[in-house]
A and B are shown apart, each in its own frame.
Chain A
Amino acid sequence: MTDFLNFLIAGLTRGSIYALIALGYTLVYGVLQLINFAHSEVFMSGAFGSLIIVQSVIGRGVHHLPWYGVTGVLLLGLTSGALIGAIVAWGLERVAYRPLRKRGAPKLAFLISAIGMSFFLSQLAGKLFNRFSDNNFPTYYNVNKHLFDIRGVHISLIQTIMIVSAVVMMLFLDTLVTHTKLGKSIRGVAEDAQTAALMGINIDKTISRTFIIGGALGGAAGFLFGSAFTVYNTMGFIPGVKAFAAAVLGGIGNIRGAMLGGLLLGVVESLVPTAPWVGGHTWIGTQWTDVVAFVVLVLVLMFRPTGILGERLGRAA
């Protein structure tokens, strides 16, 4: 039971990162019906950007900060990651999507231009910063500290931070999309772009802003991921693929679906390979994690071909 709960918490942590990235995929899919393959690089850019900013503010190395210090660094990291992510996503849309849209390119051309952009960004980041896989954030929180520790079930600080910030951002996004004017126009474009345009919604602007919102979430996720693990130029690839799978799992184009899909995928990935959660014995083994994830995805899609919650950004739930 303790092991189960620990794995569950680890899964939720992983899942909240997936969910944050998946939101970027799903938002863009909602308005454009396109997979934004370069979204993983937005995530990476957010990580690098926040790393640079946090490092230049507090310096490298180990810091023993009081709680408000930790909170400050956290907010700084989140905002800087979100900012850089938003800028990169905006640029991405301007460079890799809008010109193709104006030319009425076939759908696959968008995919390929996004892939080109993805190669370009990740390698440019590698060139400018470095291609090592051990760029660490300065230690601004106590890595070993367990925030809660109830009979062997422990939640570390970083896990709490990740889950809580992810949940807050998702709630924020949900409110944004359901209640604001911007959200209304996003939903309008997702529902029917041509009609939305006739209703006076500026399609270009809305798409641009959708990318910005998705990019901000992805960039913030990059910071969270980077704080917990490490930052490198191809770090976006695997979480990107998983988040894409999560978005599809929940029903691509559906915001709550992306959240649900992300969390679910994280939990499944964490729990299934480690079953039956006693001792070191497992039935499946963690080396099969990715296989489990994709098999679950295929099974879900076989029975619900449009994901758990179905498609469409407009109809959130």
Chain B
Amino acid sequence: MSADVKTNLKRLLACLGLGVVLALMIGDQEGNQTDFGFAFKAAVFHPRILIFLGIGVLLYLAMTFRPRVAPYLTRAGVRPLAAGTASVVASYGLLNWSDSGNLTNGKLSTLAHGARDTSGISVIGRLFFGSAVPGLYWILFVLAIALAAAAIIVQKSALAWGAAGLSVLAGVWGFVAHEMVRSYLHSPDHSTGAFVALLGYATIASASVTVARTSGSEAATGAFLDRIFGWKPGFPLFVIGTAAALLGTFWASWFSPTDKNTSVFGMSDLFHGYPINGLTSAYLGWLVWVLLVASVVVAGAATWLQHKLLGWASVLVGAVALLISLLSMHNFSRIAADQKFDGAVQAWQNIGTGAWTLCAAFTVLAGAGWMVARKPVDAAADPVSPRPIGSDSLVSPGKSFAFTQAMLVVVLAGALFYPPTATGFWQTVLVTEIGTYVLLAVGLNVVVGWAGLLDLGFIAFYAIGSYTTAYLTDTLPVKPPHWLHLSPLMAIPFAIAICLVAGVALGFPTLRLRGDYLAIVTLGFGEIIRIVAINAKSITNGAQGAFGIPQPVVHLGPLHLKWGQDPLQYWYLLLVFIIVVVMLFRRLENSRLGRAWAAVREDEVAAQATGVNTVRVKLLAFAIGASTSGLAGVFFASQIGYINPDNFVLNNSILVVAYVVFGGMGSLSGAIAGAAVLTWLPEFLKAQVPAEDRQMWIGAVILLMMIFRPAGLLPAKRRAAELSGLDKVYSAETAAVPAGEGM
């Protein structure tokens, strides 16, 4: 009994401590030397500490009563309910609902404050923002959640249907209200809040429907997904694509210069009399509808009938529709820029969300057809066909293949057509942070995730790639021979070759070292490269680095591409790099070498005894990872135009490792997701916390992730197996981590 009291007391103290830490994290900024510890005192010795202690007590209660709640937590609908709740809370509390110029802070609370008394907005919208009942949207939300939770607990389908109805109402109402504000403000809007809220409510609604429709209590998420996505491969994509197409045509704006906002219906009139070409004129007049209907019908037929030929037809129709759309968009936006009627200076500017959404829809519909066309022979009917465990299949291989494919198509469509609708700031972030680090993480994943070698100097190869580009484009003090002046893209093979050599040169003497020794040696290598870059002034121009690295150009026959200042152009270049690298690496993972890597990582002695040349295999991992990093370096140098040693500090190497592990070691999609999330987060946090505190929050996020999900965001199947294997060993609670494990 007393032991029980002691445990509880400990837990309470820990929870209160956590509350205090939270109070410190959310407190004021530092004082100065004369006022040392000001922030500490302000955070702790102030009545507001009581709130945080209260949070601690709540946490304690939650932990204490967890065993009683736990049976309910595994019930069907709990997970989607939690996800929906999280996204609605994020939308209401953190995300922007408007970013038009006259609102400095476009969060919902600010927007609601202004909008509820604005007579230009319909009463339906004002009601949502709280003209009658302040904070109505929160009340709706809490009601919906409470109903859904009650439905899960008492298993009454009436309650569940009520929750579903309420959340549909709240979601749609919020979306409509946001639309009203948007049309009232009459300016381009990149905010995501309303979308996220709508999605969140949709998730809550579907959770509620699940609760209403399932009699059993245990959730079977994997089976459920399998059923949805495996039922008719491509059909979910067809639904998503159709919804996006309707959204893009009937609702969203197609052209959004400051004063001529118009939907697709107004486009024809808007450009009447302007010298748009025949195709565009037809497109804006009637062709868009034909294409829309054609691709929806063909994709629908293909996915419903599961007919391979129709599948290919759907791919073709989608591709043609996409091509015609892009051509028309280019034409009318260029004419608009030529005619100076919207303040744009070149093509592609001011195109509204609708057009891009339609493009995404065509892509998704084509993808639906592709899934039908490429449907594998039914694996269940053929028990002896090999089912290699790819890195990305979270759920059991087989039907979930369809889920992975569908996700792939959606992500691709998003990557292609979301960025143009984002703000310039986010476009820049997408290129300089997210995209570049995704490429780096994919490269490091080979070394760390697949071969199991801890490399803490990965950024060195990035530096080598960048400096190689600078050298070959003649921007370093040391000049290349005159016949070797290259455009940045031509530098790629050289950079890759040099990084390969550097990778082997680093690997050869060090690869017989075990994990942690390798870590410090690679770390040292990274630092050596950076210090050489600083000190070898006559070669690298020292701390100033290289300036004026030219932008990429491509002259291939009739094709002339030149990259300028627009981050969007670089995004597409980067996307090509990433897609190519990921495709190559996916094949590699399930090849002879990929299995050899896994073997070396799992058990080096056994791998040797099986005839695997471990040194060669490890060197290849080093070299392939390094060359990817070099590729990223070329891109970085030519995109940013200037480089200096400060771009290649040790911290970046450590961060890339963190991205890979955060995402899920050994999983390509994990590495991508990890890098994307952790590079997006600091930029997102800019609007949420003081800029100086961002790294602290990121540290906390990484820490929490590792505590609660040590296998990472999207763990690799191969790794997940390792982890669950270990669980058995460690449940004895006696062992420390064995030396040779993991890594």
Contact = CB atoms under 8 A, between A and B. Distances in A.
Physical contact A–B (CB less than 8 Å): yes
Interface of A: 29, 31-35, 51-52, 55, 60, 94-96, 99-113, 115-121, 123-124, 126-132, 134-135, 189, 193-194, 197-198, 203-204, 207, 241, 244-245, 248, 252, 287-288, 290-291, 293-295, 297-298, 301-302, 305-307
A298 B509 contact: yes
Given A107-B742, A113-B703, A131-B30, A124 B737 contact: no
Closest 4 CB pairs of A and B: A119-B699, A107-B742, A294-B524, A116-B702
B521 A290 contact: no
Given A101-B730, A129-B39, A131-B30, A123 B699 contact: yes
Given A301-B517, A302-B509, 6 more contacts: A51-B36, A96-B706, A119-B702, A124-B696, A287-B535, A306-B514
Given A107-B743, A123-B699, A244-B520, A102 B733 contact: yes
Given A104-B726, A194-B735, A297-B521, A95 B703 contact: yes
Nearest to A37: B654
A291 B32 contact: no
Contacts of A111: 454, 657, 661
A137 B598 CA distance: 52
Interface in B380-422: none
For this complex, into which size category does the number of interface residues on chain B fall? 35 or more
A203 B736 contact: yes
B570 interface: no
Contacts of B732: 194, 197
Contacts of B43: 128
B699 A110 contact: no
Nearest to B509: A302
Given A33-B738, A112-B662, A117-B703, A104 B729 contact: yes
B736 A297 contact: no
A252 B665 CA distance: 25
A137 B43 CA distance: 24
Contacts of B513: 301, 305
A102 B531 contact: no
B692 A106 contact: no
Contacts of B30: 126-131
A120 B700 contact: yes
Interface in B184-242: none
Interface string B22-60: 001101011111101101100100000000000000000
Given A104-B723, A126-B692, A291-B531, A297 B524 contact: yes
Contacts of B743: 106-108
A294 B528 contact: yes
Interface string B13-28: 0100000000011010
A193 B730 contact: no
A291 B528 contact: yes
Main SS at interface, chain A: helix
B732 to A, nearest CB: 8
Contacts of B729: 104
Nearest to B659: A112
Contacts of B738: 33
A126 B30 CA distance: 7
Contact of B707 (A29, A52, A99, A301): A99
Contact of B33 (A102, A105, A130, A189): A130
A197 B735 contact: yes
Nearest to B454: A108
B535 A288 contact: yes
A104 B730 contact: yes
B665 A108 contact: yes
B554 interface: no
A294 B448 contact: no
B703 A106 contact: no
A128 B528 CA distance: 34
Contacts of B703: 95-96, 113, 116-117, 120
B509 A128 contact: no
Interface string B700-724: 1111111100111000000100110
A129 B531 contact: no
B259 interface: no
A105 B719 CA distance: 11
Contacts of A104: 723, 726-727, 729-731
A155 B706 CA distance: 47
A113 B36 CA distance: 29
Interface in B633-656: 650, 654
Nearest to A201: B734
A178 B738 CA distance: 23
Contact of B32 (A100, A103, A124, A132): A132
B66 to A, nearest CB: 15
B32 A130 contact: yes
Contact of B520 (A96, A245, A305): A245
B695 interface: yes
B527 interface: yes
23 contacts: A33-B739, A60-B33, A104-B723, A105-B706, A106-B723, A106-B742, A108-B665, A112-B661, A113-B710, A116-B702, A116-B704, A117-B699, A119-B699, A123-B696, A127-B39, A128-B30, A129-B39, A129-B40, A131-B30, A193-B734, A193-B735, A294-B525, A294-B528
A252 B532 contact: no
Contact of A132 (B33, B515, B658, B701): B33
Nearest to B725: A104
B591 to A, nearest CB: 24
Nearest to B662: A112
A118 B699 contact: yes
Interface in B62-110: none
A135 B693 contact: no
